[in-house]
Amino acid sequence: MITETAAEPTVPAVPAAEEATAAPGRKEPAWPWKDAPIRTLVQRIHQLQAERAQGFRRLEEWPCCS
């Protein structure tokens, strides 16, 4: 189970978003996390997992079939 702690800094969703845009004639956009340190990647994974879990909790709370 993943728990969030207040001591962990939040990781920006997309660092250097202006670098993530594709240049004209380029087939693949640049991946903004390419040169990120492992710790940053792990924090981002935890952040995404927490967001996913929150989304599922919201779905469970949604009034489905009356």
Q: What is the pTM of this model?
A: 0.51
Each residue's pLDDT, cut to its tens digit, for the chain (66 residues) gives 445 444 455 666 655 544 555 456 667 777 888 899 999 999 999 999 999 999 999 998 887 765
Q: How many Å separate Cα 40 from the centre of its chain?
A: 11
Q: What is the domain partition of the chain in residue ranges?
A: 36-60
Gap between the Cα atoms of 56 and 28, Å rounded: 31
Q: What is the pLDDT of residue 6?
A: 45
Q: What is the pLDDT of residue 34?
A: 86
Q: What is the pLDDT of residue 26?
A: 61
